[in-house]
Amino acid sequence: MKNWITIFVLLAIVSCKKKVEKINPTREDITESIYASGSIKSLNQYQAFVTVNGIIDEVFIEEGDLIKKGEAILSISNKAQKLNAENARQASEFADYTANKGKLRDAELNKDLMLNKMKSDSSLYQRQMNLWNQQVGTKVELEQRELAYQSSKSAYFSSVVKYDDLKRQLNFNSSQSKRNMKISNEMEDDFTLRSEIDGKVYSILKNKGEIVGIQTPIAIIGDANQFVLEMQVDEYDIIHVLPGLKVLVSLDSYKGEVFEAVVSKIYPIMNERSKSFLVEAKFVQFPKVVYPNVSFEANIVLQTEKNALLIPRNYMLNDSTVVKSNGDKVTVKTGLKDFKMIQILAGVTQEDELIKPGQ
């Protein structure tokens, strides 16, 4: 029992001798900022997808290659489509208007022949009519001439219709076959995946011989030299973020270094899952080497105050009250704050001694 009493007395003595921590407000610069985290993306970075299902026949590029817009990335096996394209090409050549001008010329000659025959029969009919008026010849001869004229007239008009129909048909067939060939060529081109931009191949996600579908990402491509910082900003802070604000960026790849960037774009819709907004920034001070998908932490600078009167935030009670060394509680007016310090605008001076609340 005596031992327990001794221990209690010793603890009481130590507690009484514990020194109360005191501070005075200090004059320093303070920056109010919003914390954000994210990852670096290549400018115009995108995932490339094929538009048809199939098996990769050939991969034309490697990771790290520079690529031009329209350059082939890979091809999908398409033997059947190649045959269809060849059939369409042959059909187009067969139906080409120029290749069928002989048919049209033949129809035109027949039309001219029918016109000449109609003119001849018309002349003979008119002559027979004049003779009949002079009471020369028979009624039968007149009727035969009239019948011949009417027949050749009908044949001529028929040849005109046939000529026009043939010309229209040849034009239609030629135009249709060219469209079919174009469609076939475009379908064949669907089996070749091409780059949408001038850039760099950062990743090839599939290899030759693998089965791919239209929902399967094939490659990641982006700009080779320009990068953007994609940050997630909390919904409570987004109203303070504006284009042009300075951003201080820390990269795990560059320990101890801080790079300057500037807010370039704010996406105007919130991610409902994370309750955050996507904000983009561009480097002002560029690191020597940058790779896509590298993570970073950032502070978006809202305001900076030079030579401000500051105290540690843990010396504040409810962010509005401080405790002096004599125990008096004083309500203060505050200004800028960061994660450690807070600016005092009114209520205490640099000469006042403060203690932590609860000491």
Predicted pLDDT of residue 39: 93
Topology annotation, domain 46-76+192-221: OB fold (Dihydrolipoamide Acetyltransferase, E2P) (2.40.50)
Mean pLDDT of 160-184: 79
> Does the domain at residues 20-32+305-355 carry the CATH identifier 2.40.420.20?
yes
Q: What is the pLDDT of residues 312-353, one digit of tens each?
A: 888 888 778 888 888 888 888 888 877 678 888 888 888 888
- The neighbouring-strand residues paired with 58 are 75
Predicted pLDDT of residue 95: 62
Predicted pLDDT of residue 97: 64
Which two tokens mark 7? 């221990």
Predicted pLDDT of residue 94: 65
**Percent of the chain residues past pLDDT 70, beyond the cut:** 86
Topology annotation, domain 34-43+224-302: Elongation Factor Tu (Ef-tu); domain 3 (2.40.30)
- Could you tell me the residue ranges of all domains in the chain? 20-32+305-355, 34-43+224-302, 46-76+192-221, 83-189
Q: What is the pLDDT of residues 174-191, one digit of tens each?
A: 777 777 777 666 666 778
3-state per-residue secondary structure call for 24-73: CCEEEEEEEEEEEEEEEEECCCEEEECCCCEEEEEECCCCCCEECCCCEE
Mean pLDDT of 23-35: 84
Q: What is the pLDDT of residues 223-273, one digit of tens each?
A: 988 999 999 999 999 999 999 999 999 998 888 889 999 999 999 999 999
Q: What is the pLDDT of residues 34-76, one digit of tens each?
A: 889 999 999 999 999 988 888 888 899 999 999 999 999 988 8
